[in-house]
Structure 1
């Protein structure tokens, strides 16, 4: 009974969240084939059917030789009971619709060579028009003529899409898997160091044998965040130049990260390495093959990075590897550093999302402008108005700093312009560094059932759910760190306090670093092996 109630409740929420977009579908059919094209309409005119089966089919009459600002030269017998397509002209949409309606037409399509915006009119004009009206691309109509000739049957329908799109679940899954794997990887590396007796060499901000880098200095954390702010501002003002630098860096860094991840998987699987020597240089066959695969994937992404239909798969793959490698390579030495870093980045995220729109000319936040590119049209449109290019546009470069998943339910939108749900790498990496610290702390204190790691992962999951909930309710993007940072920090702190381990959790590793010698200082009278059970 309880399960049935939950299903009913979810169904009600899902149905209530069904909304209509201003993009719709023009279904054209002929003798043996059919195709779908993007159209833009306004529900204030005659609403369209929600499904193809319920839509009424009409023959299409080609009147692109006129703009139909008046009825001169058009015989009512030619258009009566049919859909007509005309060119966009100087007269307004309502005038065209009233003329088509007076001639007996059932539907009016306006072929446009200009940017297609939601067709609107004075409020008093809507009630006068009784037939559907929509804009389509002129080039789409020319293509349809080549495919179907003059004998075309058309249906217009506007499928509603769910505000709660399944792509959000995919984004959430990607984020959770990345954070969990990154934390487990970091904890496993820490356990290996302890078992090998090298923990004493990895306590400061120095690279250990595994290539990891530990941050211990609050000042350097502040400098790091300040550099991030400066880089973001530079990207805002010099986007067209720096975007190519970031793309090149991403290709190199993601290929290296993917190699590191796949190499670790091979080691876990126990795959052996076949080596050979050339002039005293040793080469591993496995490393060569992995390097070739990773470089190939990065190059393919670099070449086809603007192909929206499928390249997002490679970008997400490289992004996951990048985040995992970052979480494994950069480690925070104690909870104090975690608090400083995450708090500063929370302020950074909120400021550049919510505050900067008051200072920019177009009212778009610097964070959104940089993440989505200079023509972030999805964020610039007002209310229910949309803008769809009528002609092919040169692709605009976007920073590879987000996970992207197409919105599965927005069929009409994707037909017009590909729509994506996105999540920034920082929303995975920043809380992930805290999760990784909790995983290492579990190793240090030998905590049962990885309680710190599991608790931080649950807190991250709840924070992500709240982020998406607020985003859906508000209808605007949210700085995810605003929810993730408090949930993860507070959960970790409360757990440490309840277990009586707050002091050791705050201080982290017992090793301190002297700036002069870079040697670890051990507690008085202890050795490296003597403190093995007191790594907190």
Structure 2
């Protein structure tokens, strides 16, 4: 009996370090780190453009920003979980009616996002071959050779995904969506971060734990795992192209999640991209604040902290603290799913393990009031950021 119990415990412990779980941990953390640094570099590039514009025009507008970057305010943070709930209900009740449109829209967004993910690699490859001059395409705009190459590769990957429906291609598109959303969306303060993550925690818990009591089904799990009809199959049936044209393509699992198979192939580990993007926005915010504080203090961390805080703690960055909290929260969510043998709302564990250490460290360092309302000065610092 004791040997059997020991074998069960060893098997349970081994399941936590299964290849699918390890892949989920590593990829989610890499996406957050990479997306955060891409966001930081975009700030640097925008500042360089503002400098060029101000030097050429002779005036400087400190409020000018990149139109492609979206900053979430308090009102949007409060209503985003409500909008997400409405979208979830639409997908739950009317999925058969909107699945083709939703699949096409998702494929278009994934194409653009994956092109953004590939852009640095394409810039590196095309730099020795051609100058970074933009090529005009009329009303479509002007693009560099690297941008055209990344977009072409992204379109090719999406087409192969539509034809094959392979999970690895779906993961690649989901990774592009994660990085693009982390890089292009900004949280302006800790107050907005707390409002957004707290609301999404309630949203996640309700739709995973309590939706079955109202709708007789776990709405979140059903929407996340329900495959959609392949647009090629639908087009073939609409145009009556015959039974052998476009009918053998598989149904598509949409890139709203990351899935990784276990080493035995018996099961998949799944993590929604919202569980990566939303904490990732917080990590992006604290990375920008770490960079701002380092510049403001002249590279001397802790100059403005209370005297009773040790120098070692002052050297710990908010980014590293929050990233460790994300890892611990993800590990806790994995353990909880194994114990309960059911899907868990990951944000129930990720939000406390990221926000609480961050709030505690900000209070001890004396930065909480500044981070809560106006963490950044209106005039951005001009020093260079780290390159990715």
2:220 matched to which residue of 1?
Answer: 367
Change (3 A) 1:399 1:279: closer
Between Structure 1 and Structure 2, the one with more strand by share is: 1
Are 1:287 and 2:140 an aligned pair? no
Q: SS where residue 317 of structure 2 aligns? A: helix
2:343 matched to which residue of 1?
Answer: 477
| CA distance, structure 1, for counterparts of residue 36 and residue 157 of structure 2 | 25
Are 1:214 and 2:214 an aligned pair? no
Are 1:298 and 2:158 an aligned pair? yes
2:26 matched to which residue of 1?
Answer: 173
- Is residue 171–residue 258 contact of structure 2 (8 Å, CA) maintained in 1? yes
In the alignment, which of 32, 38, 62 is matched to residue 185 of structure 1? 38
Which segment is superposed worse, 347-356 or 465-474? 465-474
Task: Using the TM superposition, give the Cα deviation of residue 335 of structure 1 relative to its aligned residue in structure 2, in angstroms.
Answer: 0.6
2:272 matched to which residue of 1?
Answer: 424
In the alignment, which of 194, 198, 201 is matched to residue 346 of structure 1? 201
TM-score by length of 1: 0.56
Task: Using the TM superposition, give the Cα deviation of residue 252 of structure 1 relative to its aligned residue in structure 2, in angstroms.
Answer: 1.0
In the alignment, which of 248, 254, 260 is matched to residue 405 of structure 1? 260
Change (3 A) 1:295 1:450: farther
Q: SS where residue 444 of structure 1 aligns? A: helix
Change (3 A) 1:270 1:501: farther
| CA distance, structure 2, for counterparts of residue 496 and residue 196 of structure 1 | 32
Task: Using the TM superposition, give the Cα deviation of residue 222 of structure 1 relative to its aligned residue in structure 2, in angstroms.
Answer: 2.2
Deviations 1:339-387 (A, max 9, x none): 00000000000000000111223xx311011111289xxxxxxxxxxxx
- Is residue 261–residue 268 contact of structure 2 (8 Å, CA) maintained in 1? yes
- Is residue 243–residue 398 contact of structure 1 (8 Å, CA) maintained in 2? no
| CA distance, structure 2, for counterparts of residue 263 and residue 283 of structure 1 | 12
| CA distance, structure 2, for counterparts of residue 347 and residue 394 of structure 1 | 38
Q: SS where residue 259 of structure 2 aligns? A: strand
Deviations 1:11-53 (A, max 9, x none): x97763538xxxxxxxxxxxxxxxxxxxxxxxxxxxxxxxxxx
| CA distance, structure 2, for counterparts of residue 175 and residue 420 of structure 1 | 15
1:506 matched to which residue of 2?
Answer: 372
The CA RMSD measured in Å over matched residues stands at 3.2
Are 1:443 and 2:318 an aligned pair? no
| CA distance, structure 2, for counterparts of residue 346 and residue 425 of structure 1 | 14
In the alignment, which of 477, 482, 488 is matched to residue 354 of structure 2? 488
| CA distance, structure 2, for counterparts of residue 452 and residue 237 of structure 1 | 42
Task: Using the TM superposition, give the Cα deviation of residue 193 of structure 1 relative to its aligned residue in structure 2, in angstroms.
Answer: 4.2
- Is residue 106–residue 254 contact of structure 2 (8 Å, CA) maintained in 1? no
- Is residue 166–residue 409 contact of structure 1 (8 Å, CA) maintained in 2? no
Q: 1:309-388 to 2 correspondence within 5 Å? A: 311-361=166-216, 364-373=217-226
Change (3 A) 1:287 1:167: same
| CA distance, structure 2, for counterparts of residue 293 and residue 260 of structure 1 | 11
- Is residue 25–residue 330 contact of structure 2 (8 Å, CA) maintained in 1? yes
Task: Using the TM superposition, give the Cα deviation of residue 302 of structure 1 relative to its aligned residue in structure 2, in angstroms.
Answer: 2.0
1:434 matched to which residue of 2?
Answer: 282
- Is residue 191–residue 443 contact of structure 1 (8 Å, CA) maintained in 2? no
| CA distance, structure 2, for counterparts of residue 170 and residue 324 of structure 1 | 17
1:55 matched to which residue of 2?
Answer: none
- Is residue 167–residue 408 contact of structure 1 (8 Å, CA) maintained in 2? yes
Task: Using the TM superposition, give the Cα deviation of residue 242 of structure 1 relative to its aligned residue in structure 2, in angstroms.
Answer: 2.3
Q: SS where residue 479 of structure 1 aligns? A: coil
2:57 matched to which residue of 1?
Answer: none
Are 1:18 and 2:11 an aligned pair? yes
| CA distance, structure 2, for counterparts of residue 202 and residue 365 of structure 1 | 48
2:245 matched to which residue of 1?
Answer: none
Task: Using the TM superposition, give the Cα deviation of residue 317 of structure 1 relative to its aligned residue in structure 2, in angstroms.
Answer: 1.1
| CA distance, structure 2, for counterparts of residue 482 and residue 289 of structure 1 | 40
Task: Using the TM superposition, give the Cα deviation of residue 208 of structure 1 relative to its aligned residue in structure 2, in angstroms.
Answer: 2.7
Between 1 and 2, higher relative CO (CA 8 Å, sep ≥ 6) is seen in: 2
1:271 matched to which residue of 2?
Answer: 127
| CA distance, structure 1, for counterparts of residue 372 and residue 220 of structure 2 | 32
| CA distance, structure 2, for counterparts of residue 201 and residue 213 of structure 1 | 19
In the alignment, which of 227, 230, 252 is matched to residue 86 of structure 2? 230
Task: Using the TM superposition, give the Cα deviation of residue 225 of structure 1 relative to its aligned residue in structure 2, in angstroms.
Answer: 2.1
Q: SS where residue 206 of structure 2 aligns? A: helix
Consecutive unaligned residues of structure 2, counting only runs of 5 or more, are: 55-59, 229-247, 302-314, 384-388
Change (3 A) 1:18 1:202: farther
| CA distance, structure 1, for counterparts of residue 136 and residue 376 of structure 2 | 45
Deviations 1:323-344 (A, max 9, x none): 0010000001111100000000
- Is residue 402–residue 425 contact of structure 1 (8 Å, CA) maintained in 2? yes
Task: Using the TM superposition, give the Cα deviation of residue 224 of structure 1 relative to its aligned residue in structure 2, in angstroms.
Answer: 2.3
Deviations 1:300-333 (A, max 9, x none): 112222xxxxx11111111111100100000011
| CA distance, structure 1, for counterparts of residue 44 and residue 142 of structure 2 | 29
Change (3 A) 1:202 1:243: farther
TM-score by length of 2: 0.75
